[in-house]
Structure formats: structure tokens, C-alpha cells
Amino acid sequence: MMMETDKIKNIKFTVLGAGRSGIGISKLLKKSGALVLLSDSSKKEVLLYLNEQVLMDFGIEYELGGNSDRIFNAEYIITSPGIAPGSDVLVKAKAKGIKIVSEVEAASWFCNVPIIAITGTNGKTTTTELTGTMLRDSGFDVHVCGNVGLAFSEIIPDLKSDSIVVLEVSSFQLEFTDTFRPMVSAILNITSDHIDWHGSLGLYAEAKYKVNKNQKDDDLIIINYDDITLKNRVSIFNATVGTFSVNSPSDDFKYETYTDNDSVCYKHDTEEVIINKEEIFLRGTHNVMNSMAAIMAVKKFGVSNDSIKKTLMNFKGVEHRIETVRELEGVKYYNDSKATNYDSLYVALESFKCNIILIMGGKKGVNNFEIVDPLIKERVKFICAIGQSREAISEHYKDTVMVKMFDEFSDAVKHAKNIAKPGDFVLFSPGYKSFDMFQNFEHRGEVFKQIVNEL
Ligand code: ADP
């Protein structure tokens, strides 16, 4: 909700965390006349976005390498996703009566254009980028921000009166919202994740529902009707409800997106066919769902079906998520380095009907083989197992699927190339975290792409 900047003037704010969002919000607050202390417990060397000169130019006070007691000398604390609600610092702040808000909440005070806020356990980045691309392709001035890339507070200075903000918003950010009111919100799905941070699945889900807390009747909430948790709650959401489902329409809602045979359809007063599922460039049922959520969001802004269809046929997806790398001698190579667990591995396998040569493995972790066993047996021709978990993978599959272990990542990729036949898919979908051999999943995906491009 827009806040009068007068209400910010001379108010004391402590911003915890000097990452992109912390620095961005410090600048906005300071420009509006607030008294800002930016505090980070990390040392300067590890703070990638910190530029002391910029902070000094803005007149933002800061302290690094630890939080002093000065942080409690504030009316508001802007907290950061790295700090759990139960942490000492927030518990103490709360006891002192300090208001605790997230950067998304505070940045929204400065935003007077429509916000599309996208949340959920999986698919946020893809759906956010896709929604932004649909609007951009249709001629809107759109600003995509949130969890990845630009922070919400960083795009505020660039907004024009006719801009639209598409915001990826995590449960961490939503937990500490108060007046945040998107014109369109979408909850893609809710499965157990980040339970440690929130305390329980119930609290995690409640944080996500906050995206809808301040929405009014003429706002729209888009929910996944195939997600049982969301479906059961549908009657108590605020705002107009729009549902999407890969099944038939329920006819209970004003706006519905669904599939009819292979067509993706949208129903408001009339029923419209938007696109055939097979024409969507992104692979997999999960991406049909992400596409449906994006369709509903942009329809609110009058984007035409033709334009939506064009974007869906051309949108290549987000890096490291079943990303097409190249085709070589009739074999297609895909980088799905973001698949750090078996749920993600499952949706990747589900996206290819057969002929998969799977490169998997990573840092030792939970081996949820039962999630993927049926798909691996049905669709995978060969497994190249890498990383710390390679032995467990090999042991589990050795009697059912051809599997070979590799010490070197490049040897695994080369072996995949040597055995692949035209029409096969080489899929790198690790199913484990990357920290055994790489800095993070982005680094792992870059290395994979480099090896593939040099084959
Ligand atoms: P997030 O930003 O929520 O992590 P991404 O768009 O980055 O989501 O996708 C992360 C991974 O989640 C993908 O690699 C894919 O395995 C899985 N995924 C994406 N969309 C969905 C969905 N709608 N349902 C289930 N899993 C999904």
C-alpha cells in the first residue's frame, strides 16, 4: 500500500542484511528522509553488492561484521530472508515493540502501479519470467523482480505511471508483510519446504496465504486447483478467485484455465482455446501449469490470445531449468542443474516420454528413489552417476537400469554422447545439491553447458 512519504521522514529504520534488497530499500528510505542504519553480521569481503562509497553518498549509516545494540534503536526493522522468525535478534526486537517488516512490504510503500505477485513452492521463477515476457511482448512497460535478479526496491525508481511490476515473492518475504496488496496474486502450489525456517508446514502455508491478505474484491487471486491444500481452502480467499487445472473445468469460478484434450482453454464468460499443449516450447506438465498461471495473470491486463500464444511458443525458459543446450547428431542436450532434489528430478523425467540418458548425482543427501523409480524404469536408457551420491545411485539401479559411475563430470557427459543415438535426450538433472563439486547449481549448470558445447 502506498505510504505517505511524510510518514517515513525522520523515522528510524534498521535494515538487516546488506544484500541487493537491503541496500535497495535503504536507499529508498533514506531518499524519503528516514534515518537508516544498515547492519550486516557478515564481513565486507563477502558482501558482493556492497559499495561503501554509494552508501556514504546516500548518507546511509552502516555497520558490518556484526550487529551492535544500535539495531534496536529503531521504529522499524526491515528483515532479510536469511534471518528466521525465531532468531534471537527478531525475538528481541519484537519484545521491544519494534515493527518487523520485509523488503517487499517496505518497497510496496513506494509502488503505485499494479503488482502481480507470484508465490508457491515450485515454479515461481519460471512463471514470473513468463508472465513478464507475455506482458513485454504485448507492449507493456514491465519490471520483473523479486527473489532472483533485481530486488523490488531496486526497480522502484524506474517505474512510470503505466508500468506493471511482476514480483516473485517467497514465503520468507511474505511472512513479514502487513499492508502489501498485489492487484493479482498467484499461488502455484504448496508442498513441504522451508519448514525449519517457518516452524511448521501450517506456518509456511500461512505465510504464502499472506499474498492474498489485503486483496479486495476487484483484485484477482490465481490458484492451482489441482493442489489439494489450495483447493480445500478456496472458499476463504479474499478477492476474485481464478483457478487453473490440467483437468476439466469445475465451472465454479469466474475465471478458469484448464485443459480440454490437448488444448489449453480459458473461460470467463466465453470459452477460448489459447494454445495446444504441444505448441508450448517449455516441456512438461509442470510448465503447462506455470503457463496457465501466467495466462490468467496477463488476461487481467487484456493481453490478446494471439500474443499469449506467440510468447508461449517462443519463451525458452529460465537458465538451468530443463534448459535446451544444443542438438548434436540428432541428440538433444538439456541442462536441469536447478533440480537439487527428487521432486524436481521427477518433473524433469516426466517431461520426456522416453529415450533419456540421465546424468544424475551430487552432494550426498536424501535418496528418495521411490519418487522416481517408476519413471526411471520406464523412460531412462542409461544412468551416468556422478558426485558423492554416485555409489548409492549405482547400487540402487544396477539390477534394473544400465548405470555407470564417473569420478569426472566431463567423462560422464562424454560417455552420454558416445552411447546416445539420434532421437535420444541427454538430460542432466542431478536430483542432489551441487556443493560436493561446485559452488552452486548455477556454476554446475555452466560447467555442464560448457562441456556440451565443446563436444
Ligand atoms: P522456484 O523459483 O519456485 O524455485 P523455478 O521456476 O526456478 O521455481 O523451478 C525450479 C524447479 O521446480 C524446476 O527445475 C522444476 O523442477 C520444478 N518446477 C517448476 N515448476 C513447477 C511446478 N509448477 N510444479 C512442480 N514443480 C515445478
Does residue 200 have a pLDDT over 90?
Answer: no
* pLDDT one-digit tens code per residue, 96-108: 999 999 999 999 9
Identify the residue whose C-alpha is closest to ligand 1 atom 26: 122
Whether 3 maps to a domain, the answer reads no
Same domain, 21 and 121: no
Instruction: Name the grid cell of 124.
Output: 515461481
Query: Is the distance from the beta carbon of residue 444 to the nearest atom of ligand 1 less than 6 Å?
Result: no
**Cβ–Cβ under 8 Å, residues 18 and 12:** no
What string of DSSP letters covers 137-165? HTT-EEEEEESSSS-HHHHGGG--TTEEE
Give the span between the Cα atoms of 451 and 449, in whole angstroms.
5
In DSSP terms, 371 is beta-bridged to none
Sheet holding 402-405, edge to edge: 323-328, 331-335, 425-428, 356-360, 380-385, 402-405
Q: What is the domain extent for residue 164? A: 111-314
Q: How far is the CA of 287 from the centre of ligand 1 (A)?
A: 8
* pLDDT one-digit tens code per residue, 150-178: 999 999 999 999 999 999 999 889 999 99
Alpha helix stretches (DSSP H) within 157-210: 171-175, 195-198, 201-209
Same domain, 388 and 243: no
Same domain, 235 and 328: no
Same domain, 132 and 197: yes
Identify the residue whose C-alpha is closest to ligand 1 atom 21: 123
Identify the residue whose C-alpha is closest to ligand 1 atom 7: 125
- pTM > 0.85: yes
Q: How far is the CA of 124 from the centre of ligand 1 (A)?
A: 7
* pLDDT one-digit tens code per residue, 437-449: 888 999 999 999 9
Give the span between the Cα atoms of 107 and 21, in whole angstroms.
9
Q: How far is the CA of 404 from the centre of ligand 1 (A)?
A: 28
Instruction: Name the grid cell of 443.
Output: 556454476
**Cβ–Cβ under 8 Å, residues 105 and 79:** no
**Cβ–Cβ under 8 Å, residues 110 and 28:** yes
Same domain, 123 and 95: no
Whether 1 maps to a domain, the answer reads no
Question: Binning pLDDT at 50, 70 and 90, where does residue 40 land?
Answer: very high
